[in-house]
Structure 1
Amino acid sequence: MTYLKSIFFLLLFQAFITSFAHAQVTVGAYSNGILTQLAVGTDPEEKFFGEGRLFAGDFLNRYFGAEAIGQYNFHQSEWYNASAGLMVGYYDFDNGARVGIPVLLAFKPISNHRAFAIMMEATPMFNGSLGLRGNFGLRYTIGKN
């Protein structure tokens, strides 16, 4: 039952942010070599943007996980954005809840197509003990010119 509550909360949170931000929707996939995350978020070109992530398991990693992330762009340019924020998440493993401070660098390598970005993220996390997660991913903003 807690899974359904977590999914409902993340979907409601994402709908709330998207409706009030009047933003385009982004979709992304992130991986750290062990776990893969699928993401949906608001327009990352705004000063403040949000993202919801779900773990995409396989035969070896059957764990459920969900995260809500709020980010602030502290440097924006035509070729890259740098942002940091706050992450809260729930996981089947590792004592349940986590909080973290994701620092994200988004490269926009195609000059004619800035909707596509290559992501690098480092997230110091806390769930009773400290940890560090590094992600690499791809993100696409739907509806962006």
Structure 2
Amino acid sequence: MSGEPRVEFQDLGARLIRRHTENGWVALRDDLLDRALRSFRPSAPVRGRHGGGDFFVAADALVALLRRSVDAEPQAAASDITCETDGSDVLVSVTIRLVAAYGAHLVTLADAVRARALVELQEVLGVLAPEIARIHTHVHVEDVHRDPRML
């Protein structure tokens, strides 16, 4: 007799847990899907070309490579980089926003950053190189810092 109430209690407990879990999971699942859909940002394709034909690079990957190249410039750091493509996914412009070191000659620095960006674009996008000269490369200095650790 003492075993029967325990089994009944376990059944009741299991039913309550299942009911709670199922309801909770549905609410949680909907929230997770909504959050995941909001956080997913597809990266636009950027067309490149090599001997085997055309290929595509994710714009986010191209931006990361450009950032690494720009950040190698000792007196500058990229604060933002954006790419714009045409209807055929060919890169038409790159905008690089910089933080510059105090005392740097800004025109010379902008020219050095632009040159680095064009070399990186040529390496990544391949034989679209003749068209590289047509890519508008905008360099904007948006801040200047005395502390080189801020770069």
TM-score (norm 2): 0.29
Larger Rg: 2
Q: Which has the higher contact order (CA 8 A, sep 6+)?
A: 2
TM-score (norm 1): 0.30
